[in-house]
Amino acid sequence: MSDRPLVAVLDYGSGNVHSAVKALIAAGADARLTADRGLIQDADGLVVPGVGAFRAVMEALRASRGDELIGRRLAGGRPVLGICVGMQVLFDHGVERGVDTEGLGEWPGAVTQLEAPVLPHMGWNTVQVGEKSRLFAGIENERFYFVHSFGARTWDLDVHPPFPSPTLTWATHGTPFLAAVENGPLSATQFHPEKSGEAGIRLLSNWIDGLGTATL
């Protein structure tokens, strides 16, 4: 038996996920790529990776009923971390090349193409860390690795007491966009922690350390 927190990495057909598993293990988790519904529900944390197009990721999630698993975990206050397109699909919808696709609807708003002279936004970038961030504790001034052309450029969720306000971290490529969100049990990063060197491992470690304390 491992005394490391069990983190399920949702296996729904998204490519290039093994690096995320390795990074989570390096960060201190017992990480497993899995489609097992029981394990996903019972794990201490669930990571939702995503690469490619918003529409393709949503189709794969729905085909595997991954959308149901994410919703059930969040309904029970169980921690979930979305990465890259795994963050984007948490919003109401995504608009890519004229195609408007319904997302998971955990957060209001749309994911749209960045307004920048060069796309995709590929490479290292700094972030403007939100106040009292747990994910970025000790790495507020580090750089992280991005690969994307689309993002959430506004935040439209109004939160009222007693619920705490989400912590929003922004980055800029042409115009500002959300680089990370911490919202109770639901967190997400637009960048790839698993490709962000020691800073990315530290961020994942911060998330893992908080798995027992995430609340609605």
> What's the pLDDT score for residue 215?
41
Domain ranges (residues) in the chain: 6-209
pLDDT for 2 equals: 67
Question: Do the Cβ atoms of 29 and 210 come closer than 8 Å?
Answer: no
Residue 192 annotated among the catalytic residues of the structure: yes
Compute the radius of gyration of the chain from its Cα atoms. 16
Catalytic residue among 93, 148, 173, 192: 192
DSSP assignment of 12-62 equals SS-SS-HHHHHHHHHTT-EEEEE--HHHHHHSSEEEE---S-HHHHHHHHH
3-class DSSP state for residue 72?
helix
Q: What is the architecture of the domain spanning 6-209?
A: 3-Layer(aba) Sandwich (3.40)
Q: Indicate if 84 belongs to the active site.
A: yes
**What is the phi-psi region of residue 19: left when phi exceeds 0, alpha when psi lies from -120 to 50, beta otherwise?**
alpha
Residue 18 is among the residues annotated as catalytic for this protein? no
Given 84, 106, 142, 182, which residue is catalytic? Answer: 84
- Considering 18, 68, 194, 198, which one is annotated as catalytic? 194
Sole residue written with tokens 């998971």: 104
Mean pLDDT by 10 residues, the chain (216 residues): 88 86 98 96 97 95 96 96 98 95 97 97 98 97 98 91 88 98 97 98 98 58
- With a threshold of 0.85, does the pTM exceed it? yes
Question: DSSP 3-state assignment of 199?
Answer: helix
